[in-house]
């Protein structure tokens, strides 16, 4: 299962001319040799008309250089108390390249970036990474790679359709000046130990807990801990040269929170809360003068990418209590349906209890395992529900936008086995916080209008729960919405 990676960058030219981009193409070390007019026509399905499309230039990602590690053993290698899977020996990032590691602790070697950057061409242009093709704002019509010596810079040319008048106005005025790229990588390599991971469950401790920290190598050189995406020798996936495929670029607002958040929040059961809070509070260096400090993966929804089959039934659950037993902080205005939230909590406990008891019964039947009560199902239920609640609480605090929050809720729900149709999340996002409405009836009416039909009780529980979290997010990020 591929990793989804993101990185923000400031726009270089919000309204670039054909002549200016031609100069960038000429100066680039590598790039498309096709006629740009013909290439754009093929991608857009129509002529590239400046009156219809806003053309924007952005330097979107930069490369790092790596050193070969002397005497590095390959294969399954014992490092300290753990065993790692090391496939390559060139995993230490050159100290001078540390500045080009992005704020999420992700990086691309010069060789991999040179191989993979053409996958930008033809990719979609979204807003806030809401990757629904019908909501695409345009396309990436060209990409080039510029070797500046210390790094390989990738520049993209984005055509945003002017029918999205408010978006275009914000871009042209400079109010919106950040593009965020999205890419899929088949695996990542730890720049400290060389461990190769193909999904979150396989990450080493360095990537889980120490990204963007530094260490001293055997020669006493200070180096950064980061994830290297792909490797230039990898050729198992023709759609991802070097194991990397760039899939989109999104217009995003500058995030309200600085610092990097570990991706493991998407696997909340594996992340100690004190470790999560420590990483949330850590500062993150920029990879260039124009880089934007940002929150982590939770800021980037990926509808339609990776695991997107939100095939939820009518028995959607809700959140649990905090694992410590303390009541959650009052983060904002109270939303309607507080009683429904309590019902959701009880629903989650019941579903987790049922799952645990079913597994215990099956084990007892098949192999005469120990009695069910020896496993303490009540303790497991409480702990599971507490982790779920704590994951949602953290998400509310770190999400950079309502879209990011809604996507994060969907991923956390999915990780706990609670599935619901993607359309319900879209309804909740479009309706917004229940606190915006004068009454519960008005909120329910808005839900019906956006959905285009009456919602079943179980469907309404999903929408209301997400709406409640949106109200908490607004309470933190916009406590005086009328001002």
Return the domain boundaries, the chain.
3-299, 338-477
Tokens of 453: 């039909």
DSSP-assigned beta bridge partners for residue 143? 156
Q: Give the residue, 323 or 196, on which the prediction is more confident.
A: 196
What is the helix (H) or strand (E) element at residue 159, kind and residue range?
Answer: strand 152-161
Q: Tokens 């909340």 — which residue?
A: 268
Q: Give the residue, 243 or 127, on which the prediction is more confident.
A: 243
Q: How far apart are CA 55 and CA 48, in angstroms?
A: 9
pLDDT score at 361: 64
The answer to whether 83 and 115 have CB atoms below 8 angstroms apart is: no
Span 194-220, average pLDDT: 93
Span 346-372, average pLDDT: 56
Please return the burial class of 170, using the count of CB atoms within 10 Å of its CB with bins 0-12, 13-18 and 19+: middle
Residue 358 — pLDDT band, cuts 50, 70, 90? low
DSSP-assigned beta bridge partners for residue 76? 85
Please return the burial class of 152, using the count of CB atoms within 10 Å of its CB with bins 0-12, 13-18 and 19+: buried
The answer to whether 296 and 260 have CB atoms below 8 angstroms apart is: yes
- Given a cut of 70, whether residue 17 has pLDDT beyond it is yes
Counting other chains too, the contacts that 450-455 makes at CB distance below 8 Å and 24 or more residues apart are 451/423, 451/427, 455/427
Residue 324 — pLDDT band, cuts 50, 70, 90? very low
For the ranges 91-100, 339-348, 438-447, the lowest mean pLDDT is seen at: 339-348
Looking at residue 135, the DSSP 8-state letter turns out to be G
- Given a cut of 70, whether residue 276 has pLDDT beyond it is no
Report pLDDT digits (tens) over 98-135.
999 988 899 999 999 999 999 999 999 998 888 888 88
- Given a cut of 50, whether residue 481 has pLDDT beyond it is no
Paired sense of beta strands 124-127 and 244-252, if any: parallel
The answer to whether 411 and 350 have CB atoms below 8 angstroms apart is: no
Tokens of 131: 């990757």
Q: Tokens 């929804």 — which residue?
A: 301
- Given a cut of 90, whether residue 244 has pLDDT beyond it is yes
Residue 83 — pLDDT band, cuts 50, 70, 90? very high
- Given a cut of 60, whether residue 8 has pLDDT beyond it is yes
Q: What is the mean pLDDT of the chain?
A: 75
């Amino acid at each position: 299962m591929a990793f989804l990676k993101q990185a923000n960058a400031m726009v270089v030219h919000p309204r670039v001319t054909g002549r200016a981009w031609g100069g960038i193409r000429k100066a680039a070390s590598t790039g498309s040799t096709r006629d740009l007019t013909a290439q754009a026509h093929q991608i857009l399905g129509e002529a590239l008309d400046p009156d219809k499309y806003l053309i924007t230039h952005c330097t979107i990602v930069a490369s790092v250089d790596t050193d070969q590690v002397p005497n590095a053993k390959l294969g399954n290698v014992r490092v300290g108390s753990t065993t790692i899977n090391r496939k390559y020996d060139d995993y230490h990032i050159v100290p001078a390249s540390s500045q080009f590691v992005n704020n999420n602790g992700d990086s691309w070697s010069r060789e991999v970036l040179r191989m993979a950057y053409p996958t930008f061409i033809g990719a979609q242009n979204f807003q806030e990474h809401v990757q629904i093709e019908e909501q695409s704002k345009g396309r990436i019509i060209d990409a080039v790679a510029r070797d500046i010596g210390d790094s390989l810079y990738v520049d993209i040319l984005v055509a945003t359709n002017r029918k999205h008048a408010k978006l275009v106005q914000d871009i042209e005025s400079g109010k919106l000046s950040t593009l965020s790229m999205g890419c899929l990588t088949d695996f990542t390599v730890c720049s400290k130990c060389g461990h190769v991971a193909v999904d979150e469950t396989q990450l080493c401790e360095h990537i889980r807990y120490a990204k963007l920290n530094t260490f001293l190598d055997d020669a006493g050189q200070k180096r950064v801990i980061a994830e290297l995406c792909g490797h230039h020798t990898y050729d198992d996936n023709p759609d991802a040269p070097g194991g990397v495929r760039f899939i989109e670029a999104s217009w995003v607002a500058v995030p309200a929170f600085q610092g990097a958040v570990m991706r493991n929040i998407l696997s909340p059961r594996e992340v100690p809360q004190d470790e999560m809070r420590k990483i949330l509070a850590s500062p993150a260096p920029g990879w260039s003068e124009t880089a934007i400090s940002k929150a982590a993966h939770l800021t980037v929804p990926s509808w339609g990418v990776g695991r997107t089959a939100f095939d939820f039934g009518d028995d959607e659950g809700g959140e649990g209590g905090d694992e410590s037993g303390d009541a959650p902080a009052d983060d904002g205005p109270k939303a309607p349906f507080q009683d429904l939230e309590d019902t959701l909590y009880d629903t989650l406990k019941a579903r987790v209890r049922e799952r645990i008891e079913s597994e215990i019964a099956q084990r007892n039947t098949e192999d005469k395992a120990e009695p069910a009560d020896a496993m303490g199902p009540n303790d497991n239920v409480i702990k599971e529900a507490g982790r779920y609640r704590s994951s949602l609480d953290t998400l509310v605090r770190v999400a950079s936008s309502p879209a990011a929050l809604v996507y994060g809720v969907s991923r956390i729900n999915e990780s706990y086995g609670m599935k619901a149709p993607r359309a319900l999340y879209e309804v909740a996002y479009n309706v917004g916080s229940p606190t915006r409405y004068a009454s519960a009836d008005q909120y329910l009416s808005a839900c019906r209008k956006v959905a285009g039909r009456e919602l079943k009780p179980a469907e309404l529980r999903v929408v209301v729960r997400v709406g409640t979290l949106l109200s908490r997010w607004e309470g933190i990020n916009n406590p005086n919405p009328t001002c």
